[in-house]
Amino acid sequence: MNLSEQYPIHLSNSLSGKKEKFEPLVPGFVGMYVCGPTVYNYVHLGNTRTFLTFDTVSRYFRFLGYKVRYVRNITDVGHLESDADEGEDKIGKKARLEELEPMEIVKRYTEDFHNVMRIFNILPPSIEPSATGHIVEQINITKKLIDLGLAYETNGSVYFDVKKYNQSHHYGILSGRNIDELMESGRDLDSQDEKREKVDFALWKKASPAHIMRWPSPWGEGFPGWHIECTVMSTKYLGETFDIHGGGMDLKFPHHECEIAQATGANGKTPVRYWLHSNMLTVNGQKMSKSLGNSFLPSELFTGNHPMLERGYTPMTVRFFMLQSHYSSTLDFSNEALGAAEKGYKKLANSLKLIKSIEHPGNATPDKELNEALQTLVADCYKNMSDDFNTAKTLAVLFEMSSRINDMKSGNVSLNKIEPAVFESFKKAYIGFMEDVLGLQEETSSDDKLLDGTIRVLIELRKKARTDKNFALSDKIRDDLKAIGVQLKDGKDGEITYTIE
């Protein structure tokens, strides 16, 4: 029996509201799509938690032996300031404010996103498509929805007809929203509004004369709506029906609800079998928000240069902190919680280093009770992760394993009492769950490879900021590093070196 059969995964499906056994469409394969970032600003920790969640999900599937195709998009057009299809395109607005081309904005913040993912040891997806790379497909599916009578064109814009769709399907199936209530609530339509109903949403928007990002279409020059890109890219790379769609809880409505309607309307079948949603980060009980001044950039977290932080914390400490709570629960961010996470992470990381150095002597006089206890701990790691990816309970088991490792190293537990096969299974499981599943790496001193890599990523960000003439960011990175004892030195050839004081 292989691992996936021995420890079948049960996950909380947002579509049914129940915990269900995971049954892949194709045995041994998993197709998963996750909504990626809108690259108009630096990625913050709230975003990072979502991507860390699905990094862990994909890691565990692979650990069980599944072949995973993980698709995570880049939104580089179409995401307006308001979910009601109003306001400027977020990327276009940023480009106008900074007097840059939109694709310069996209490149800058996509690079930042990738750097942050590397720092937190979040693995890249199998495929990372962009909205602007799939304009043709978005136009084609919009035309198809018009032909099917599920969308209509008004003055160069195209809208999805939710009321018509709801006659034969259920709009609100994911979020539990009632269409009649949605039609009654919200802003009243005025004489200038192009929509037939308040609940209708844009598939294609006509570009105003001032709009920078625009493409030719059968309805005139314009740009795609936000929701249509994910329907196009998920079904293009995973099929008209695929296994898992993930994202933050805040995307459940309207974004994911609209995705379901578009794909079901266009293809006549339910696009996703299992929906997973990660919850938000809070700070001292409040939602993390830029407007409240309680959101953190990763660089601020590492340096401690933020009014709400007492000091800096390493990437693995923060990763450990986020894994301490189930992905579907809110996670409260505080100095006390980070300090406790740091101690917990260091304990497990120290045991990781120890277990790698311990070798079984080869001969044994087995203690039955001890061997059964070690085997139970290994099984519990699998059972907890297979129970809706419960990283919190898995960490609790790893702490028990850590205590056993310390006993082995100190001699309190004789390796001769452990069967060689049991010891190897225990060792493999501890290393595997720490590194391969939870993505926690050794991070032991100020001059280790991980810290060096982190500093060099920040140096590259600073060099990029200077190239872009973003001197405020360049100076901030330099000053933040200096505050924690990292002194940068600019060479004549443009190279930047550092010393730790």
**Residue 352 covered by a domain:** yes
Quote the domain boundaries for residue 458.
449-500
> Which is more confidently placed, 43 or 16?
16
**Residue 443 covered by a domain:** no
Q: By percentage, how much of the chain surpasses pLDDT 90?
A: 72
User: φ and ψ at 197, to 5 degrees?
Assistant: -135, 155
**Residue 442 covered by a domain:** no
**Residue 412 covered by a domain:** yes
Q: How far apart, in whole angstroms, are the C-alpha atoms of residue 214 and residue 41?
A: 21
CATH number where 269 lies: 3.40.50.620
pLDDT band at 306 (very low <50, low <70, confident <90, very high): confident
pLDDT band at 453 (very low <50, low <70, confident <90, very high): confident
User: What is 253-304 written as a DSSP string?
Assistant: IIIIHHHHHHHHHHHSS-SEEEEEEE--EEETTEEP-TTTT----HHHHHHT
Task: With a cut of 70, say whether residue 491 has pLDDT above it.
Answer: no
Together in a domain, 377 and 488: no
Q: Which of 232-246, 310-324, 432-446, 473-487 bottoms out in mean pLDDT, i.e. has the lowest?
A: 473-487
pLDDT band at 290 (very low <50, low <70, confident <90, very high): low
Q: How far apart, in whole angstroms, are the C-alpha atoms of residue 105 and residue 77?
A: 11
Nearest Cα residue to 342 out of 312, 382, 365, 367: 312
Together in a domain, 319 and 194: no
User: How many other C-beta atoms can be found within 10 angstroms of the C-beta atom of residue 132?
Assistant: 21
**Residue 153 covered by a domain:** yes
Together in a domain, 496 and 351: no
The total domain count for the chain is 3
Tokens (6 digits) for 387: 């129970």
Give me the pLDDT at residue 191, please.
41
Q: How far apart, in whole angstroms, are the C-alpha atoms of residue 172 and residue 179?
A: 7
Q: How far is CA 20 from the centre of its chain?
A: 22
For the stretch 367-421, pLDDT in tens is: 999 999 999 999 999 999 999 999 999 999 999 999 999 999 888 899 999 999 9
State which of 412, 437, 462 marks the end of a domain.
437
Q: How far apart, in whole angstroms, are the C-alpha atoms of residue 139 and residue 223?
A: 9
Q: How far apart, in whole angstroms, are the C-alpha atoms of residue 324 and residue 440?
A: 12
Range 277-285 average pLDDT: 89
Together in a domain, 400 and 471: no
**Residue 257 covered by a domain:** yes
pLDDT band at 354 (very low <50, low <70, confident <90, very high): very high
State which of 387, 411, 437 marks the end of a domain.
437
Together in a domain, 130 and 161: yes
State which of 417, 437, 457 marks the end of a domain.
437
Give me the pLDDT at residue 499, please.
55
For the stretch 216-272, pLDDT in tens is: 999 999 999 999 999 999 999 999 999 999 999 999 999 999 999 999 999 999 999
Together in a domain, 236 and 372: no
For the stretch 307-350, pLDDT in tens is: 888 999 999 999 999 999 999 999 998 899 999 999 999 999 99
**pTM for the whole thing?**
0.87
Together in a domain, 260 and 294: no
Tokens (6 digits) for 265: 């309307």
Q: Does residue 15 sit in helix, strand or coil?
A: coil
Tokens (6 digits) for 280: 């938000």
Q: How far apart, in whole angstroms, are the C-alpha atoms of residue 137 and residue 219?
A: 15
Together in a domain, 258 and 142: yes
Q: Quickly list H helices, 289-367.
A: 298-303, 315-323, 335-357
pLDDT band at 291 (very low <50, low <70, confident <90, very high): low
Q: How far apart, in whole angstroms, are the C-alpha atoms of residue 170 and residue 165?
A: 8
Together in a domain, 271 and 288: no
**Residue 444 covered by a domain:** no
Give me the pLDDT at residue 484, please.
78
Together in a domain, 202 and 317: no
User: What is 122-156 written as a DSSP string?
Assistant: PPPPSB--BSGGGHHHHHHHHHHHHHTTSEEEETT
**Residue 293 covered by a domain:** yes
Amino acid letter for position 147: D
User: How many other C-beta atoms can be found within 10 angstroms of the C-beta atom of residue 118?
Assistant: 15
Q: Does residue 75 sit in helix, strand or coil?
A: strand
For the stretch 2-11, pLDDT in tens is: 999 999 999 9
Together in a domain, 320 and 425: yes
Together in a domain, 367 and 470: no
Q: Which of 14-23, 73-82, 122-131, 428-437 bottoms out in mean pLDDT, i.e. has the lowest?
A: 73-82
Q: How far apart, in whole angstroms, are the C-alpha atoms of residue 46 and residue 30?
A: 26
For the stretch 137-168, pLDDT in tens is: 999 999 999 999 999 999 999 999 999 999 99
CATH number where 426 lies: 1.10.730
